[in-house]
Amino acid sequence: MKKIFFTKRGYPEEQGQALPEFALIIPVLILILMGVFDFGRAFYAYSAISNGAREGARFGVINPTSRDADGLPPYDPDTIEGRAVAQGFGLDPNEFDVDVATPEGTDQGDPLTVTVRFNFRAATPFIDIIWGGGPLTLRAETTMLIECPGGDCFSGL
């Protein structure tokens, strides 16, 4: 009669089975991990453009006529658009699109709207299929009322 010895690891017929199972599951685990990484990057980018829209609008209500000459990147840092893009530390400044609107004029109490768009590109292969391919456009908008027409807030101090 043949004796079978059992080890602490299990039955003798199952030895070496973990390696093929691991080889099958590791690509899926890596894609999930990279997807989580890309989600974190997208969340950071949205947070940065949201802060940029607020910062640009806040600068704009004090200096409503401080606009970029051509309205195209790279933006002058001393303009509403430049202040909005400056909040995107670590993001490609050429992927920003900043629109500043003053539909009622630049008098005190008129609304000023800053809209910031950013083209987010995923690092994970095939993850852009989830939103239809290509870059994902993130958008943030802030509206504030103009406080200093002409930027002369501090002239009477």
Closest to 122 measured CA to CA, from 34, 44, 46, 27? 34
Q: Is residue 9 part of a domain?
A: no
pLDDT on residue 157: 46
Q: Is residue 5 part of a domain?
A: no
Eight-state DSSP code of residue 154: T
CB neighbour list of residue 103: distance below 8 Å, 6 or more residues apart: 111, 113
pLDDT on residue 48: 95
Amino acid letter, residue 71: G
Is pLDDT of 155 > 80?
no
| Confidence tier at 141 by pLDDT (50, 70, 90) | very high
Average pLDDT over residues 105-118: 90
For the chain, how long is the longest CA-to-CA vector?
107
Average pLDDT over residues 140-156: 77
Q: Is residue 7 part of a domain?
A: no
Single pTM value for the model: 0.77
Q: Is residue 157 part of a domain?
A: no
- pLDDT tens per residue across span 58-95: 998 888 878 776 766 667 778 888 889 988 888 988 88
pLDDT on residue 66: 80
Q: Is residue 3 part of a domain?
A: no
End-to-end CA distance of the chain: 106
Q: Is residue 10 part of a domain?
A: no
pLDDT on residue 7: 58
List strand residue ranges (DSSP E) for the chain, in order: 96-101, 111-120, 136-145
Q: Is residue 156 part of a domain?
A: no
What is the total count of domains within the chain?
Answer: 1
- pLDDT tens per residue across span 15-56: 677 888 889 999 999 988 988 999 999 999 999 999 999 999
What residues make up the domain containing 98?
Answer: 15-151
